[in-house]
A and B are shown apart, each in its own frame.
Chain A
Amino acid sequence: MDTIFGVPTQALFGQLLIGLINGSFYALLSLGLAVIFGLLNIINFTHGAQYMLGAFTAYLLLTKAGLGYWWALLIAPVAVGITGILIERLLLSHLYKLDHLYGLLLTFGLALIIQGVFRNEFGSSGQPYPIPPQLTGGQNLGFMFLPNYRAWVIVASLVVCLATWFMIERTKLGGYLRAATENPALVQAFGVNVPRMITLTYGFGVGLAALAGVMAAPIYQVSPQMGADLIIVVFAVVVIGGMGSILGAIVTGFGLGLIEGLTKVFYPEASNTVIFIIMAIVLLLRPAGLFGREK
């Protein structure tokens, strides 16, 4: 059998595929963060908690209302998105004129509160959430056993990412959004309701986080901590991709998933740190990130 650095190529394919799956989550989450930062200039530290809320909404829909995964996929992003809209209207909208730091502190505080409440209610070990019956089982690809659910995660995440990118970069609505961040006063003068657009954008970004949460529920334990563990990595992804760059978030999300996957084979002990090493190098060479524009 062929080997690369002592690792059979077939095993390597398996690891790359797994990297891609993890990358799907990084991409989905960092996409929401990038949308929010790019269009609102808010560093949304509540993102991890909102991802967790998505997973818990799915869990509660299943256990309390008997609604399964597919319903959760529709309902959870909308429900959590609405809580996002409330947060934006009631709290964040007062901070736009102040320094970034205030938004960061507010969202970080909110995240701690939300996680604390859920921990108190559900404990830290988390709750199990079954894989939807249509997606159980898997395919034997020869080099690895690919669970159907994981294949679905890659496809769904790619579709959502590309659709979001298309909407923001290639449609008229996206054009308004981008224009509103450059010069809100001018766009408002053309008769566009900018504050409402910003509110809906935040709700949309939060909805993306919740969607990722629902998709993660069958794979990981639905636990209050699940977002806090991930959010730091996702922030690194956004910084490497370039703050606010939609395409950067998507490409970097998938790319770093792959690199992390490879690290897990060759030097597993470093798999948690490799992303931050890359972040340090990228920031040294390109302070605005790979796809970011210097302002």
Chain B
Amino acid sequence: MERKLVSTLVAAAFAGLSGPAAAQISDGVVKIGVMNDMSGLYADIAGPGSVVAAKMAVEDFQKTSKSGLKVEVVGADHQNKPDVGSNIARQWYDVDKVDVIVDVPTSSVALAVNQITRDKGKAFLVSGAATSDLTGKACSPNTIHWTYDTWMLANGTGNAIVKTGGDTWFFLTADYAFGHALERDTEAAVVKGGGKVLGKVRHPFPGTDFSSFLLQAQASKAKIIGLANAGGDTINSIKQASEFGITKGGQNLAGLLVFITDVHGLGLQTAQGLIFTETFYWDLNDQTREWSRRFAAQNGGRYPSMVQAGVYSSVLHYLKAVEAAKTDDGTKVIAQMKAMPTDDPLFGKGSIRADGRKIHPAYLVEVKKPSESKGPYDYYKIRATIPADQAFRPIDQGDCPLVKK
């Protein structure tokens, strides 16, 4: 007991010595925990690449900052299981002195970490998870939802398809929080655009064989089969749909959440013509190209997904806010992040709303034909840019208790 007291005093003394900026930084170090699927079906979308992105953000921050802030990045694998994720979050916050958790794909895990972060007064920057509930009924003063969400995907892809005549839908939905949210938001967009949903089937997550569900979709005679799943599930669904001649039969697939890593895994031969929405593509401008090449060099040649780009962007803004607020107290830093405009090479200038939603443009992309592509990762044609103020759900429609009506 006594020894602990002494060491605390010593630590406090050192913290006092290291300058005024660090005075409010717990243990003198800002500790960033990157939690995601490091080994399963979402490992390419986020995984070790997100840790690389977070470390790049720290490097870039320290190049320009004069505060001498000490920052440390740690990573963990939540295996897409909410109970595993919750345990890591508690361990990180209570024992390992982690100040902020970032990324966390898999909506069910993100919702669990969202609640724990709020209870502990820490900070949570979501890049990988999709459910729009994070800025809706589950919104929190300690959470910012950075990269994309199910409403944005539904609005971008769903609207575009209904407008071009795809007015009857059948959903293939991953049976957990993310799939349900994506299906719900897309259905709303379809119905609003005058379309109709003919049926839906919920497949276990993660799945391997989708042919059975695809046959049910085929039998529904819907023009569009909406894939409300992600990662390996989407890849296998698309692959097997082409095997069973579903696209040749006149029905079209709508990949509601597709990442560049999925297109890379599918190959252009199978993926060509797919239309979906992303908020980041490496080949947008000189800045994104420069950053992405730097990233790929550290990530075994694999180019960044929008999730990994979002991790970089959110960590950079977080560190700027810590510097400005001179504290790493979760609630205060999140408030500071909302107060400051955002600016980074990947997403450009943007802002964060009261409900925790980060705002930036979204891009409706189409996958190139093999003949149009110059090489690996040259995959997208940008069909339309959805401006930042239209890309995300209007703040008054999310039922977020933080928003005053």
Contacts and interface: CB of A to CB of B under 8 A. Distances in A.
Nearest to B212: A264
A39 interface: no
B14 interface: no
A181 interface: no
A128 B270 contact: yes
A144 B215 CA distance: 8
Given A11-B219, A131-B243, A145-B244, A225 B41 contact: yes
Interface residues of A, number: 42
A103 B215 CA distance: 41
B96 interface: no
Contacts of A123: 43-44, 261, 265, 300, 302
Contact of A125 (B209, B213, B262): B262
A107 interface: no
B378 interface: no
Given A123-B43, A124-B44, A14 B262 contact: no
B219 A149 contact: no
B265 A147 contact: no
A268 B203 contact: yes
A127 interface: yes
B201 interface: yes
Contacts of B212: 15, 18-19, 261, 264-265, 271
A255 interface: no
B15 interface: no
Given A123-B44, A125-B265, A220 B231 contact: no
Contacts of B239: 128, 219-221
A119 interface: yes
Nearest to B203: A268
Interface string B245-270: 10001000000000001101111011
Contacts of B240: 219
A125 B232 contact: yes
A18 B215 CA distance: 9
Interface string B178-204: 000000000000000000000001111
Nearest to A144: B215
B235 A221 contact: yes
A21 interface: yes
B210 to A, nearest CB: 10
B216 interface: yes
Contacts of B232: 124-126, 221, 223, 225
Interface string B36-58: 00011111100100000000000
Contacts of B269: 128, 130
Given A128-B270, A229-B208, A261-B212, A119 B202 contact: no
A171 B227 CA distance: 50
B236 interface: yes
A269 interface: yes
A176 B211 CA distance: 42
Contacts of B201: 268
Nearest to B264: A125
Contacts of A269: 175, 202, 204
Contacts of B202: 268-269
A128 B261 CA distance: 12
Interface of B: 39-44, 47, 175, 201-204, 206-209, 211-213, 215-216, 219, 231-232, 235-236, 239-240, 243-245, 249, 261-262, 264-267, 269-270, 300, 302
24 contacts: A11-B215, A15-B212, A15-B215, A18-B209, A19-B212, A124-B41, A124-B47, A125-B231, A125-B235, A126-B265, A131-B243, A138-B244, A144-B215, A145-B245, A149-B243, A220-B208, A221-B235, A225-B41, A225-B232, A261-B212, A264-B212, A264-B213, A269-B175, A272-B204
Given A125-B264, A268-B201, 12 more contacts: A18-B209, A19-B212, A120-B300, A123-B43, A123-B265, A123-B302, A125-B231, A125-B232, A125-B235, A150-B243, A220-B208, A268-B213
Interface of A: 8, 11, 14-15, 18-19, 21-22, 115-116, 119-120, 123-128, 130-131, 138, 144-145, 147, 149-150, 219-221, 223, 225-226, 229-230, 261, 264-265, 268-269, 271-273
